[in-house]
């Protein structure tokens, strides 16, 4: 019984961490949930001659287990721009009041 309980708690902890990682991927990531820094990575495989490579924000210690960041660069930058636009509009609204 105790072994099943420990196993259940370990699974719950793992799924909670997956949930935290998926929720945390907003904007440009600075740190991975594993407390490692993220870096900009360019995939060297050229799919097209006019597209030199895909860029990613990726955890320094990346493993494909769902607990580390590997986010497309374009998505991170788009989300960051949207966040900055929202902050700008809020500040503009405050100044007009």
Q: Which of 2-6, 86-90, 92-96 has the lowest mean pLDDT?
A: 2-6
Which residues, listed in sequence order, are joined to residue 55 by a DSSP beta bridge? 42
Structure confidence at residue 92 (pLDDT) = 94
Enumerate the H helices of 1-97 as residue ranges. Answer: 2-24, 73-96
Tally of domains within the chain: 1
pLDDT tens digits for range 29-84: 777 777 777 777 777 666 655 556 678 788 888 777 777 777 777 888 888 899 89
Q: What is the pLDDT of residue 96?
A: 92
Sheet strands side by side (includes 55-59):
38-42, 55-59, 70-72
Q: What is the pLDDT of residues 4-19, one digit of tens each?
A: 888 998 888 887 777 7
What pLDDT is stored for residue 41 in this prediction? 76
What is the domain extent for residue 51? 2-96
């Amino acid at each position: 019984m105790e072994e099943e309980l420990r196993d259940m708690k370990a699974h719950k902890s793992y799924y909670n961490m997956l949930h935290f990682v998926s929720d945390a991927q907003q904007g440009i990531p600075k740190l991975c949930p594993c407390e490692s820094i993220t870096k900009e990575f360019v995939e060297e495989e050229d799919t097209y001659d006019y597209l030199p490579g895909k860029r990613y924000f990726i955890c320094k210690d990346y493993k494909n287990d769902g607990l580390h960041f590997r986010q497309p660069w374009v998505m991170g930058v788009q989300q960051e721009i949207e966040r900055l636009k929202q902050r700008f509009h809020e500040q503009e609204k405050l100044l007009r009041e």
